[in-house]
Structures are given as structure tokens and as C-alpha cells.
Structure 1
Amino acid sequence: MKKAAILVAGGRGTRMGGPVSKQYLPIGGLPVLMHTLGIFYQAVPEAELILVLPADDFAFWDSLCKTYRFEIPHRVVAGGNSRFQSVRNGLQALTSGTQLVAIHDGVRPFVKEEVIRESFEVAHQSGSAVAVVALKDSIRKLSDDGKSSFRERQRYRLVQTPQTFQVEKILKAFQVTEIPEFTDDATVYEHQGWQVSLIAGNPENIKITTPEDMEFAEFLISKKKD
């Protein structure tokens, strides 16, 4: 099966509060995106890697690759005005004949190799594979009148990436008009009436968004080196 991975990093990362977007900030001596590309290359070296970035960042990314002597093969594609549009741009750039594609947040550099590989295996069998983790804390549902009610946390999962799909199906799913309910690729797929298959993610597969996340990321990097 011909595989690809689309790593989406089309945003500006305003919540980090600095002049440089979060995907380019260094952790453990390398920019975040290079860690993410590296783990996919290790997990599925045969897969085509497509990196979705803001078009204005192409030259900056090229300079980073030269500075860090980063040589993992990948293609760069321009993002859109939303995550939905960025993913669609990545899908449209897939090489002809690609049968399975993993879509992953570029700022999740701690996904485990076995999660990536399992996502391709399950998507091949069932059409989709979405990484999730169980909740540890109790949860409550808020109503419009400000009241809250208990919910069984065992019935809920936190959704991560990768979200991996058969290319034929996910291409069809992304032909629709974008709506607010499309919070991730799984909801776009599900909009077609198809059931989403879940696989176990790994809890440390955090999405780096805030300065506190960067501190935790440095800790995770240090643990990997031990």
C-alpha cells in the first residue's frame, strides 16, 4: 500500500505569544516540526511526507533546514485560511496512486512510532483510524442556564492525531463545503455517514500550543535522552 503523511502546520501560533510561530521553536536542539517529521520518517520510511506551511514561511523553513542540516525528504505545500483548507491543500498534493494517508498536527512531535504504524494498518482494514486517549479527570456538562451535570468519563475519549484514512474516502469527504462542526479530519470523514475507527494514542502526544507546553516538551525530550 502506497502511504503518505500530511503534517499540518499552517497556523500562526498566536497563543505562544512570541515573534516566531510555535512549529519553528526549538526543543531539544531542533525545531518542533523537525522532530515530528523525524518520528514519521522512522515509523514509516516508505511514506511520502508532505508538510503544510503558510506560504509566507517557505523561505524561513528553507533557511531552518539549511541551518540545522535537516535532510529528511519531504515536500512543502501552502496552507489555507483554516485547518480544513490546509488539509485539503495537502490532500490535493498527494502523489497519484497513494492509497493511505495519515493527517497529523505538526506540533505533536511525541506521537509513538507504533501508534503511527497501527493507524495505517487499521485504516487499511476499516477505512479510518483515529488516535484517542481515555480521560483521567471527571467531567461535567454545562447547560445554557449555567447549571452542570455529571457525565460518565468512561464513555468519552480525547481525540489526537494521527488520523489516518483510505485516500479515496478522505478525498471524497473533503469535497464538501466547510462547516463549523469540522473540528478535525474525523468529523469531516464522519459527515459522509461513515463510522470512525478508534485506536489507542499515547498520553504524551501533546499538541504544543502554549509556553507551558514548551516547558513540558523539553522535559519529555530530556526523558527520551535518559
Structure 2
Amino acid sequence: MEKFAVIVAGGSGLRMGTTVPKQFLLLRDKPVLWYTLTAFLDAFQDMQIILVLPEQHLRTGQDIIRSTYDPDRIWMTIGGETRFHSVRNGLQHINRHSIVFVHDGVRCLLTPELIRKCYDAAVDKGNAIPAITAVDTIRIETVNGNEQIDRNKVRIIQTPQTFFSDIIKTAFEQDYHESFTDEASVVEKLGVKIHLIDGEGSNIKITRPLDLLIAERVLEEREMGI
């Protein structure tokens, strides 16, 4: 089955404390986004990638695409006002029955193995959402203050969120709602059951300077085969 990855990379550098958007920051001499693109290229030889970027960063995106080993499998489109609108813009370029992965451009440590696992589960169940179990104590605010909840029932959601194309494209025909914090929430609004699979602890989102240090260490350990 055909495979498309919509990679959304519209973040800024505000929480990182830089003027350079975090997807373009250097990680071991390569932009964060380069690692994300490479993971998807490595996962499947027939993977096609739609990179969604703010219009003012298209030239930088093109330079990064050219630096990958298979730039012909990647093309760009312009992002929208919100993540929802950016994903919708990317989905408009998919016109064939396929499996669609939607991924955060700054989750640069995901592995090809996770991508393939998402694919297999989505083919079987219609969708696959990687998630990991919470390890910290969790408390939730209530009208009476706050209370502890069972962390074993809490799942931290990751990407790539993976769907049959007809499911996700139909979902994104809905009007935007502030409750749409990820693709699963958009699809779930249609009444579709969401299927969680095991994610990867290292599949972090590069948001703060500490995340870059963690990412460097993870890449070093992978290089050493640890």
C-alpha cells in the first residue's frame, strides 16, 4: 500500500530561547529536521513525504531536503494558521488510497522501526497512535483542588499518528475546534475508535535546550550500538 508522511514543522524558537526555529537548529552538525526526514526515508523505500513549513522558511526547507539522500521523495507545502490547518494543507496533496503518517518535525529521534510498527497496526486497525506510559505521579485539578489519578492508566501521546487516508482526510473536512490538539482528537470526533500502540521513550519533542542535549546523547549511543 502507498505511504505518505505529512511532517509538520511550523514551530518557533521561543521556548528554546533562540531566533532560529527549533526544527532548523543544529544537532551534531545537521538540522533537527534532517533526522526526522531521514527516519521516514529509511523506514520504507516507497515512502513519500510532504513537508509542511511556514512560507518564510521554504528556502531553508529546500536546502535541508537537498541534503538528504533521496530528495525526490520529498516535497513541500505551506502551513496554515494552526497545526490543524497545516495538516489539512498537507493532506490535500494525497489523492490515492494509502496509509498516512502525521508527524511532528521536531520529534527527530523516532526510529524506522516505530514507523513500520505504526504502519502494520494501522493496516490492521485503521489507525495507530504511539503512546508511552506515564512514569511520574499524576495529579489532576478539580473543583475542590486536585487529586491523584492512577498513572498506570495515563498514556503520553506521540507521533507519527497513522491512519488510512480516507479516514483522516474525511476527519479534516470538519471545521476547526480548539479541542483538536492532535490528529487522533480530530478523527475521534467522527466516532472512530482510536488504537494505541507502544511508542518509544526516546521519541521526544525538541522543545527546550535540555532536549537538544538529550538528543545528542541518544544519537551518540545509537552510533556506538548501545
TM-score range (shorter-chain normalised) is over 0.9
CA RMSD of aligned residues (A): 1.3
- Tell me if 1:181 matches 2:179: yes
Question: For residue 93 of structure 2, what is the amino acid of its counterpart?
Answer: A
Q: Is the 8 A contact 1:4 1:98 kept in 2?
A: no
**Structure 2 match to 1:111:** 110
The TM-score, its normalising length taken from structure 2, stands at 0.94
Which deviations, in whole Å up to 9, do the C-alpha atoms of 1:40-81 show, x marking residues without a partner?
Answer: 111122111111110111112234455xx3343200111001
Residues 200 and 129 of structure 1, relative CA distance in 2, 3 Å threshold: same
Q: 2: distance between equivalents of 1:215 and 1:161?
A: 21
Once residues 11 and 202 of structure 2 are traced to their aligned partners in structure 1, the CA distance between those partners, rounded to angstroms, is 22
TM-score by length of 1: 0.94
Name the residue aligned to 2:34: 34
Alignment of 1:70-109 (within 5 A): 70-73=68-71, 74-94=74-94, 96-109=95-108
Q: Contact 2:13 / 2:19 at 8 angstroms: preserved in 1?
A: no
Structure 2 unaligned residues grouped into runs of 5+: none
CA distance in 1, matches of 2:218, 2:28: 9
Distance 1:142 1:109, change over 3 A: same
- State the alpha-carbon separation in 2 of the partners of residues 123 and 47 from structure 1: 15
- Paired residues, what number? 222
Verify: 1:168 aligned to 2:172, yes or no: no
Aligned: 1:46 with 2:46: yes
Alpha-carbon distance change, 64 to 112 in structure 1, aligned in 2, over 3 angstroms: closer
Q: Percent identity between the aligned chains?
A: 38
Match of 1:121 in 2: 120
**CA separation in 2, counterparts of 1:65 and 1:118?**
25
Bigger mean CA deviation after superposition, 79-88 or 210-219: 210-219
Secondary structure of 2:160's match?
strand
